[in-house]
Structure 1
Amino acid sequence: MPKPSLERRVLLGMVLAFGAGAGSLALSLYDTRDQLRRVVMNIQAREISAGFTMQSDPATLPQSYAGGELSYTLYSPEGQALWFSDNLSRPRRLRQPMSPEPPLFQMPIRSGEVINMAAPLADGATLMVAKRDVLERQTIGQLLHTKMQQSLLILLPICLLAFALIYAMMRWTLKPVQDAARFAQNISSSNPQPIPTEKLPSEMHQLAQAANQALDKLTHALAHEKQLVADAAHELRTPLTVLDLRLQQARLDERPDWKSIDADMAYLRQLTSQLMLLARQERGLDSQQKEESSTTQLSRMVREVTASMLALFDEQGRQVEVQLIDGMQVRGNASLLNTAFRNVLENALFHGKGKVCVSMRCDSECVYLTVADEGLGVPAERCEQMFVRFHKGTQSSKGAGLGLAITRQIMRNLGGDARFLDQRHGQLQLQFPR
């Protein structure tokens, strides 16, 4: 079910506002006739009781006034009924005299055909004057009916004009929003233009800016994905060509070189696996490890990885030394941290020289793992380039140039980092959040 538009909601709000105003006016006029009746009766009661006291003769009081029959009840200053007229079966209930200034707000009081009003006397007594005010009731009713018709004739055009002006202002206010919506419909991967915010109302700026920020992130992500695909295609082209030539040669040879073919297949599998891992890390698909607060025994993991590579170090006549802090735990997925550290250790093994030393230190917030060798290291101006995917220090060297890029992305997804230290020999440091 489609949701109502903002324009319809505003129109509904306007109708409700006008309805509330009309209801308030009707409620205000509901009690007007009886209020006027009480005011008129109060004036008449004061005129009738002028000069009357407890000692006065009740016979001097008129039996009718302005065409309506009158009845009386006299109360002492203490509130005791002293006398009531013959046309009453019992005394009228004592009421407080009407205030000359009525309260700002009071609940409507519906009066019957007989209205009863208290008139204070000079000696402190109170004379209750009651009257069947047929003439006043009819006259006031006709007056209010006429005034109501006149008011409606005046107010109806004014309300229609106000409604039209508010509607026009609403359309004028919403036009920039509608223009921005039409502009957003034309946004595509080939036209990632940000939504213009110059003419938008200030209340819509925050939403438009958030949409533009999201669009900017998506644009960068799309460009990043395109570059990754292009780099991967370029990097895979050579090994696939070599493998294709070997397979064609194998068809012709009686004794194919299966060892070389297996090596090419292993390299392709490794490259494909690295590309998939890098793509996941760069998209943040494995970054949930950061929120899951999983921990890894870093000291044990480093020892296990180093031990698994001892045969490779022995094969090249290289030594590896490990200096760790026992029991050190860090945040992160053990498998990903294993991959990150293995890449760094392989980098020192295949691209460094001499003895490799793995050392650890920590502070209150981070743990630092440094892998150092005795090679010439990386020049300062090229340190950041070494973490760019498919970039290698020597193009003829082993590998695809993805290991350090994967390592840095894993570390940054954890809230840490990977960087080369500015030293005479090669030193690469991993920073782990504790």
Structure 2
Amino acid sequence: MNSLRSRLLLVMALVFALGAGNVVIYLLDLDEDIRAHVLNEQVDTLLATVTPAPDGSNLGALPVQFSASDWRYTLYTRSAELIASAPEGATPLPFRSPEALPETTRAAITARLIGDDRVLVASRNDWEDCEELCQLFRERMAGSSVVIAILAAISLVSIIFLARWMLGSVRRAADLASTIGVAHPDRRIPLRELPEEIVPLAISANQALDRLSSAYEIERRFTADAAHELRTPLAVLDLRLQKARAEQSPDWSAIARDMNQMRHLIEQLLALARADQGGERRPHGPEARVGLARIVREAVADMLPAYEADLRTIDVAVAEGLVVEDAHRQLRQALRNLLDNAFRHGRGRVSVCLTSRDERTAILRVSDEGPAVSQDVGDVLFERFHKGVQNSPGSGLGLAIVRRILRNLGGDARIGVGPTFAIELIVPLAVTEADAVRA
């Protein structure tokens, strides 16, 4: 019974069976209603011709044979005291209150109030009429059964076609979904013709397909980038190793330099892949918040040995009290990439400045003494594998990783305005309790 069609058929069949059962029960009870109605009509007719006296002296004037039935009468007081009974010698009928509900018996019986304090109980033996009535109903029921059977067959066929029509859109959607794959990753389940109850499931499936398609695209891009960027370093390293076999004194420093460059490229590719996938974010909460000044100091401390070895200087000016949600690793990696980019390609002194732009965002600016570039030209630097100087060392991925990380966090990275080269990170701040109250 896992099939939706089977369940629909079962429900509709049960509804039809209940309706047919109610009709049969009504027809079976209808004969008793007719008996009670006929009895009351006949008693009204008799009492219209003869009104029993209070002492029951004229009770015998009521007919004992009427409408092909045997009649009996008994007169009582309201307190159930017997006054008279007819015909003579007949056993008195049991007392019945005029307000009592009718009973189903072989002899129909009813009670009427006579005057203010007398109760006439009347009974007729309508067994023969009842037999005729039952025979009539049996004949009618036999004919009705045929009609009900025909209606049941028509309803069953209608239910089957209705279920097929209702589920046709679901079947077409399933057929289309079966074609979604590597060859057609952009196809989605159509929502227009689906029943309302199934639309949420289809929407969730489409969203899952979007996520899978995005993950597939990230993997495809990573594979293409890795194959493209590793081809040249591997070829150069292979040539150096071949040359080293033929020489007595291999150039180990050049080999080590190529290895370091390849290692750096692989690390950048992996970092970019993680950034494309959204990074590792934990649920937000007060306990997950981190001071932005702390992240800046840790990133600067990571790069400080390299700067000191090259006799370069890093100036740090940070505003305290700025807090971000748990994005410690991502922001630290982004700032390290900026400092590494300034170390490899920048000039002179490097400055790191953290300020608050407004209540919701902070500006983290990293600048060096190199020449400034315009905003339009600078945006090209954030493209993957683009280098300001094509023959310079590096992978051309550092700034692309930085922008991807910041956009994942709800911020952005841009070229800074000023007399020297600068990059600004727009960092979203954590919502404080005061901000939440104002909102």
- Choose the corresponding residue for 1:395, options 377, 390, 406: 390
Q: Deviations over 1:12-51 (max 9, x none)?
A: 2221121111122123223212111111211222223333
Are 1:120 and 1:127, in contact at CA under 8 Å, matched by a contact in 2? yes
Q: Deviations over 1:345-404 (max 9, x none)?
A: 222333333432222223322333222233323432233332332222222222212222
Q: Distance in 2 between matches of 1:180 and 1:225?
A: 28
- Choose the corresponding residue for 1:369, options 357, 364, 369: 364
Q: Distance in 1 between matches of 2:408 and 2:286?
A: 13
Are 1:70 and 1:132, in contact at CA under 8 Å, matched by a contact in 2? yes
Equivalent residue letter for 2:46: I
Distance 1:397 1:8, change over 3 A: same
Kindly report which structure 2 residues correspond to 1:10-21, keeping only aligned pairs within 5 A, or say none: 10-21=8-19
* 2:414 aligned partner: 419
Kindly report which structure 2 residues correspond to 1:82-97, keeping only aligned pairs within 5 A, or say none: 82-83=82-83, 85=85, 87-88=90-91, 91-96=94-99
Equivalent residue letter for 1:83: I
* 1:277 aligned partner: 271
Report how far residue 68 of structure 1 moved: 4.3
Q: Deviations over 1:203-228 (max 9, x none)?
A: 36665565455545544543343222
Query: Once superposed, what is the RMSD of the aligned Cα atoms?
Result: 3.2
* 1:62 aligned partner: 63
- Choose the corresponding residue for 1:343, options 337, 340, 344: 337
Kindly report which structure 2 residues correspond to 1:134-145, keeping only aligned pairs within 5 A, or say none: 134-145=127-138
- Choose the corresponding residue for 2:399, options 399, 404, 411: 404
Are 1:290 and 1:331, in contact at CA under 8 Å, matched by a contact in 2? yes
Matched residue SS, 2:42: helix
The answer to whether structure 1 residue 150 and structure 2 residue 143 are counterparts is yes
- Choose the corresponding residue for 1:432, options 428, 433, 436: 428
Q: Deviations over 1:414-434 (max 9, x none)?
A: 333333334443332221332
Equivalent residue letter for 1:230: A
Equivalent residue letter for 2:39: M
Unaligned runs of 5+ in 2: 431-439
Are 2:76 and 2:84, in contact at CA under 8 Å, matched by a contact in 1? no
Equivalent residue letter for 1:254: Q
Unaligned runs of 5+ in 1: 99-108
* 1:104 aligned partner: none
Equivalent residue letter for 1:387: F
Matched residue SS, 1:49: helix
Q: Distance in 1 between matches of 2:33 and 2:392?
A: 103
Report how far residue 286 of structure 1 moved: 1.9
Matched residue SS, 1:372: strand
The answer to whether structure 1 residue 325 and structure 2 residue 319 are counterparts is yes
Q: Structure 1 residues 420-429 or 183-192, which shifts more?
A: 420-429
Equivalent residue letter for 2:245: R
Are 2:75 and 2:83, in contact at CA under 8 Å, matched by a contact in 1? yes
Matched residue SS, 1:375: strand
Q: Distance in 2 between matches of 1:335 and 1:20?
A: 66
TM-score, length of structure 1 as denominator length: 0.84
- Choose the corresponding residue for 1:286, options 273, 280, 283: 280
Matched residue SS, 2:388: coil
- Choose the corresponding residue for 2:34, options 20, 33, 36: 36
Q: Structure 1 residues 191-200 or 253-262, which shifts more?
A: 191-200
Are 2:218 and 2:277, in contact at CA under 8 Å, matched by a contact in 1? no
- Choose the corresponding residue for 2:292, options 298, 301, 315: 298
Q: Distance in 1 between matches of 2:407 and 2:32?
A: 80
Equivalent residue letter for 1:91: P
Q: Identity over the aligned pairs, expressed in percent?
A: 35
Q: Distance in 2 between matches of 1:311 and 1:281?
A: 26
Q: Deviations over 1:134-179 (max 9, x none)?
A: 1222122111111111222233323323432343343234334323
Q: Structure 1 residues 37-46 or 415-424, which shifts more?
A: 415-424
Q: Distance in 1 between matches of 2:360 and 2:81?
A: 91
Are 2:406 and 2:413, in contact at CA under 8 Å, matched by a contact in 1? yes
Q: Distance in 1 between matches of 2:70 and 2:208?
A: 83
Report how far residue 406 of structure 1 moved: 2.2
Matched residue SS, 1:347: helix
Distance 1:372 1:284, change over 3 A: same
Q: Distance in 1 between matches of 2:233 and 2:367?
A: 31
* 2:51 aligned partner: 52
- Choose the corresponding residue for 2:217, options 214, 223, 227: 223
Q: Give the count of matched residue pairs.
A: 421
* 1:168 aligned partner: 161
Q: Structure 1 residues 246-255 or 230-239, which shifts more?
A: 246-255
Report how far residue 316 of structure 1 moved: 4.6
Matched residue SS, 2:320: coil
Distance 1:383 1:22, change over 3 A: farther
Distance 1:390 1:123, change over 3 A: same
Distance 1:259 1:251, change over 3 A: same
Are 2:97 and 2:111, in contact at CA under 8 Å, matched by a contact in 1? yes
- Choose the corresponding residue for 1:25, options 16, 23, 26: 23
Matched residue SS, 1:387: coil
Equivalent residue letter for 1:18: F
Report how far residue 201 of structure 1 moved: 4.3
TM-score, length of structure 2 as denominator length: 0.83
